[in-house]
């Protein structure tokens, strides 16, 4: 799996392990915090409903699904401009994105910014800098990735919505995978969620007989960030290896092993 969208909290390294905990059969697959979509790719369901509150992200997913060739061409245009004009092109495109929230601009920024870390400030503006020592993925390579993902997600519907609205149509027999902004990492993700409201949401899924898997805080190095979720909300808690801490490596030049929590209500 090669990422088409680089998004904070990607589950690419854990996707197959998490997939192993899914039931053998289920109805519609729901993913209300779609992010970079690694679980969607790994599960490859015939029908899925996915969402996120970041409108440009959802717009980008719909572009990948519906207009992959055009999206690849738009990236190539921006990438060529960067090679010809230098760093000023990146910051012009970043300014344009922050003004118009164009999904084509977001794809370009995600592929040329420092370490591929998509970051937004308190105003919702993209604020990461150009990765000066890298030219960004070449257009031909990204085109192949876009076309591959487009083929994978033809059965998916994408909506810019709150998580509890994205799964409103779920019924018993469906499955919901949840990867919300983590409790101890506010500020690293686009938006936040109210923790108590989220607990009520999990209880509602239980009452409706809908199975869910929840990725959440775990262990990083010597620090245990596991959240004390009410035990009545889940039946199983596993720790999933997720490599090393990207943020710790980038910011503090240290390597820390990370284990993330996976909660299931079945």
Q: What is the pLDDT of residues 103-124, one digit of tens each?
A: 999 999 999 999 888 889 988 8
**What are the structural domain ranges in the chain?**
15-53+161-264, 64-150
Three-class SS string for 145-185? Answer: HHHHHHHHCCCEEEEECCHHHHCCCCCECEEEEECCCCCCC
* CA-derived radius of gyration, the chain: 19
Give average pLDDT by consecutive 10-residue segment, the chain, 266 residues: 90 96 98 97 97 96 98 98 97 98 97 91 92 94 98 98 97 98 64 88 98 96 94 98 67 78 98
- Does 15-53+161-264 carry CATH code 3.40.250.10? no
CATH of 64-150, one of 1.10.8.50, 3.40.50.2300, 3.40.50.10190, 1.10.1020.10: 1.10.1020.10
CA nearest 240: which of 177, 176, 190, 150?
A: 177
Per-residue pLDDT tens digits for 230-250:
999 999 999 999 877 655 555
Q: What pLDDT shows up at residue 246?
A: 57
Domains 15-53+161-264 and 64-150 in one fold: no
For residue 257, the cross-strand partners are 244
Q: What pLDDT shows up at residue 108?
A: 98
**Residue percentage of the chain with pLDDT more than 70:** 93
Which helix (H) or strand (E) covers residue 145, if one does? helix 139-152
Q: What pLDDT shows up at residue 122?
A: 85
Instruction: Give the distance, in angstroms, between the CA of residue 266 and the centroid of all CA atoms in the same chain.
Output: 24
**Structure token digits, residue 237:** 């808690």
C-alpha distances out from residue 233 to 45, 114, 175, 200, 239, Å: 26, 39, 16, 9, 17
């Amino acid at each position: 799996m090669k990422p088409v969208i680089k998004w904070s909290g990607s589950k690419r390294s854990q996707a197959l392990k998490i997939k192993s905990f899914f039931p053998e059969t289920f109805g519609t697959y729901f993913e209300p915090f779609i992010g970079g979509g690694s679980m969607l790719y790994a599960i490859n369901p015939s029908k899925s409903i996915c969402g996120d509150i970041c409108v440009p992200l959802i717009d980008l997913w719909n572009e990948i699904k519906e207009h992959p060739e055009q999206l690849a061409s738009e990236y190539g245009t921006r990438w060529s401009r960067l090679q010809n004009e230098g760093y000023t092109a990146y910051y012009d495109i970043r300014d344009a994105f922050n003004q118009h929230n164009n999904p084509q601009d977001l794809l370009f920024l995600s592929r040329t910014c420092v370490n591929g870390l998509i970051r937004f400030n308190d105003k919702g503006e993209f604020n990461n800098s150009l990765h000066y020592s890298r030219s960004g993925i070449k257009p031909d390579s990204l085109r192949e990735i876009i076309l591959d993902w487009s083929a994978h997600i033809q059965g998916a519907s994408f909506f810019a919505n709150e998580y509890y609205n994205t799964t409103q149509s779920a019924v018993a027999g469906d499955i919901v995978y949840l990867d919300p902004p983590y409790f101890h990492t506010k500020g690293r993700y686009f938006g936040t969620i109210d923790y108590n409201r989220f607990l009520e949401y999990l209880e509602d899924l239980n009452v409706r007989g809908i199975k869910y898997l929840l990725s959440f805080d775990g262990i990083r190095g010597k620090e245990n960030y596991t959240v004390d979720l009410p035990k009545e909300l889940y039946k199983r808690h596993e720790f999933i290896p997720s490599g090393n801490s990207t943020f710790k490596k980038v910011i503090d030049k240290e390597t820390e092993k990370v284990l993330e929590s996976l909660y299931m209500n079945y």
